């Protein structure tokens, strides 16, 4: 998830582009850049870090001042570290084409090989530079930028929102979209293109929304819209009716809610290009260099903090189940100080959304010092953790802004499942079982969408218990960590005291807490221990507790036991947490809103804890 802006018109392009980037900064913020046609060549300025760094650099580059056409980008890295070289815009090696891109080119690797064989030279690690050179390659023979872009896009698999400039056509901007949003603001003799309307609204409320496989060719006098197969399309100019803040929030009241609802898309991005259904293999490019060592691992230790630690607990079950490797999970803060035994053949997997959590970094260093293979499951590309691991897998979940982690958690579990399948298939797993699991994973995004539809019902239930100051969350097996996560979400943002438990442990102490009217959330989808959980529910009910259950669609029996039921679709047992956690995220969210709490910035908490 990155941000694109393009401008052509009477104003100074640089000013419009920088203002636009600042509006888009919430979409990603690890590096930024700008390109403009200046005196017959493409001038480019890029910088790691936030937009303000780029702005400071541009202040020392007067040549940009007079340009009235340009493109700019704020990056949330997906391929390659967030440094200057990998920042957009990317130029073709002949310096004729500049390109900004939002999305992922899945087949960039074979395209790169092909272009290299034709003599193209690459300087960055990005998929975008491949597209810039592909366009340049076609431009040699096509004659126009428009045709070259069309030809190139027909070769591409993946997603893109792009804006392209060429030195040879200095008054023309070509934009296109597939799977990544692209909006064209139509002003008075000016056009502002952007990946969302927040960069446009201060210039005009008139916009054209491009659909997938559509492109626009814009110059100062007008705009033409066509498909990438060169069929003309007529587009309606529509009106934007949102404020800037509403646009950043995409119509949601809080970033946390937005991120909960983004989970289907985040998981699709996380899976993109990683499941080879034909070969029945999981492809994880970040592990290639160490795959032989990893396959021989005798033991895996997951480590992390908070929500990431909960994801680790699920990883433990996944690895034992699917990869048949002994696995355990340690709090990063404990791992470091307990003089852990790291035997030969141990892989330590550090899990972190930010990649900057001090305890997790320290645990990883400890593991490396003791000779472990150090792996990372990280969202922020180029973060400290990502740089200190031997190898790793990125989440591609997009920036997570709400302090309470939601979409990063489900993507962490998805990556763990991918890793377990990657190893399982290499160690013992049948192709048939692998195929079944792959189909199960691919179905998850749509299944999450169906769970999200219960949001209103979940809000009603949260309302009924809003004055209760103590809650319990129970689960077994794969859903035990989900119970922990449900309780953590509730306490983090609503300040209600909540405890998560392995359901059978309740009778060994916490049962003393149960009193008349106490809400007890039981995560009980169809599984081996379903009947046992029903007994735990009876124990709660006998003491006056009120049961809120998360159950599998079609389970009518559960109504005899629970006051309220949220349903999740059936899926392979090992993937259940990806569905059962969703109602718990929504329950916490609605409870916090009903109690008037600051959902996105809860008291005493920080998004990234960089102190021990």
Catalytic choice (235, 491, 532, 607): 607
Q: Assess whether 2 carries a catalytic annotation.
A: yes
Alpha-carbon distances, residue 265 vs 147, 307, 396, 486, 576 (angstroms): 31, 20, 10, 22, 18
As given in the structure block, the two tokens for residue 180 are 């990544």
Rg (CA), the chain: 26
273/355 with CB nearer ligand G6P: 355
Q: Which residues contact 138 (CB under 8 A, 6 or more apart)?
A: 147, 148, 151, 152
As given in the structure block, the two tokens for residue 602 are 């809860």
With beta carbons less than 8 A apart as the criterion, state whether 238 and 209 touch.
yes
Q: Which residues contact 264 (CB under 8 A, 6 or more apart)?
A: 445, 446, 448, 449, 452
215/348 with CB nearer ligand G6P: 348
Q: Shortest distance, CB of residue 396 to ligand G6P, whole angstroms?
A: 15
Other C-beta atoms closer than 10 Å to the C-beta of 268 total: 17
Q: Shortest distance, CB of residue 415 to ligand G6P, whole angstroms?
A: 13
Q: Shortest distance, CB of residue 574 to ligand G6P, whole angstroms?
A: 22
As given in the structure block, the two tokens for residue 58 are 């541009």
386/514 with CB nearer ligand G6P: 386
Q: Shortest distance, CB of residue 439 to ligand G6P, whole angstroms?
A: 29
With beta carbons less than 8 A apart as the criterion, state whether 559 and 565 touch.
yes
In 367-479, which ranges are E strands?
A: 373-378, 391-394, 470-475
102/307 with CB nearer ligand G6P: 307
With beta carbons less than 8 A apart as the criterion, state whether 193 and 101 touch.
no
Catalytic choice (2, 411, 527, 571): 2
Phi first, then psi, for residue 28 (nearest 5°) are 160, 150
Residue 301: name the closest of 310, 293, 312 by CA: 312
Where do contacts with ligand G6P occur on this chain (CB under 6 A)? 304-308, 352-354, 357, 360, 403-405, 605, 608-609
Q: Shortest distance, CB of residue 342 to ligand G6P, whole angstroms?
A: 21
53/608 with CB nearer ligand G6P: 608
Phi first, then psi, for residue 538 (nearest 5°) are -60, -40
Q: Shortest distance, CB of residue 351 to ligand G6P, whole angstroms?
A: 7
247/361 with CB nearer ligand G6P: 361
Catalytic center residues: 2, 607
């Amino acid at each position: 998830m990155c941000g694109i802006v393009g401008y052509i018109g009477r104003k100074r392009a640089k000013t419009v582009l920088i203002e636009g980037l600042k509006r888009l900064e919430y979409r990603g913020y690890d590096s930024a850049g700008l390109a403009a046609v200046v005196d017959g060549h493409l001038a480019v300025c890029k910088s790691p870090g936030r937009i303000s760094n780029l702005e400071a650099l541009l202040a020392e580059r007067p040549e940009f001042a007079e340009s009235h056409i340009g493109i700019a980008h704020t990056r949330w890295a997906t391929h390659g570290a967030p440094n200057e070289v990998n920042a957009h815009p990317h130029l073709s090696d002949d310096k004729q084409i500049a390109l900004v891109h939002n999305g992922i080119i899945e087949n960039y690797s074979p395209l790169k090989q092909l272009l290299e064989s034709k003599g193209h030279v690459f300087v960055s690690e990005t998929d975008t530079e491949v597209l810039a050179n592909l366009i340049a390659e076609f431009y040699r023979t096509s004659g126009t930028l428009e045709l070259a872009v069309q030809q190139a896009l027909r070769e591409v698999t993946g997603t893109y929102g792009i804006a392209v400039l060429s030195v040879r056509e200095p008054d023309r901007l070509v934009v296109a979209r597939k799977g990544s949003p692209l909006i064209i603001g139509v002003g008075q003799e000016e056009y502002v293109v952007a990946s969302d309307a927040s960069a446009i609204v201060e210039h005009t409320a008139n916009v054209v929304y491009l659909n997938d496989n559509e492109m626009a060719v814009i110059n100062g006098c007008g705009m033409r819209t066509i498909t990438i197969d060169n069929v003309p399309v007529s587009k309606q100019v529509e009106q934007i009716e949102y404020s800037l803040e509403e646009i950043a929030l995409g119509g949601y009241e809080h970033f946390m809610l937005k991120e909960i609802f983004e989970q289907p898309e985040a998981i699709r991005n996380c899976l993109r290009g990683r499941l080879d259904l034909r070969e029945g293999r999981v492809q994880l490019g970040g592990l290639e260099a160490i795959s032989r060592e990893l396959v021989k691992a005798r033991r895996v230790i997951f480590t992390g903090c908070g929500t990431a630690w909960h994801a680790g607990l699920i990883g433990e079950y996944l690895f034992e189940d699917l990869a048949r490797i002994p696995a355990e999970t340690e709090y990063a803060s404990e791992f470091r100080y307990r003089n852990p035994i790291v035997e030969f053949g141990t892989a330590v997997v550090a899990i972190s959304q930010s990649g900057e959590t001090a305890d997790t970094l320290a645990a990883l260093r400890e593991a490396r010092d003791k000779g472990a293979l150090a792996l990372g499951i990280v969202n922020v590309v180029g973060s400290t953790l990502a740089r200190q691991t031997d190898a790793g897998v990125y989440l591609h979940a997009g920036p997570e802004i709400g302090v309470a982690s939601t979409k990063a958690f489900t993507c962490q579990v998805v990556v763990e499942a991918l890793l377990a399948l990657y190893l399982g298939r290499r160690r013992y797993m049948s192709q048939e079982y692998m195929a079944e699991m792959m189909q199960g994973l691919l179905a998850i995004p749509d299944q999450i969408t169906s769970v999200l539809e219960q949001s209103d019902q979940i809000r009603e239930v949260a309302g009924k218990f809003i004055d209760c100051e103590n809650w319990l969350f129970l689960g077994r097996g794969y859903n035990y960590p989900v119970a922990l996560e449900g309780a953590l979400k509730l306490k983090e943002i609503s300040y209600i005291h909540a405890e998560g438990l392995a359901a059978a442990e309740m009778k060994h102490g916490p049962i003393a807490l149960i009193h008349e009217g106490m809400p007890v959330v039981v995560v009980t989808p169809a599984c081996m221990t379903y009947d046992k959980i029903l007994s735990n529910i009876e124990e709660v009910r006998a003491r006056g507790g009120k049961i809120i259950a998360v159950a599998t669609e079609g389970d009518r029996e559960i109504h005899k036991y629970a006051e309220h039921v949220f349903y999740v679709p059936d899926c392979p047992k090992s993937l259940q947490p990806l569905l059962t956690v969703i109602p718990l995220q929504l329950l916490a969210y609605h409870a916090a809103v009903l109690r008037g709490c600051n959902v996105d910035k809860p008291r005493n908490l920080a998004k990234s804890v960089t102190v021990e």
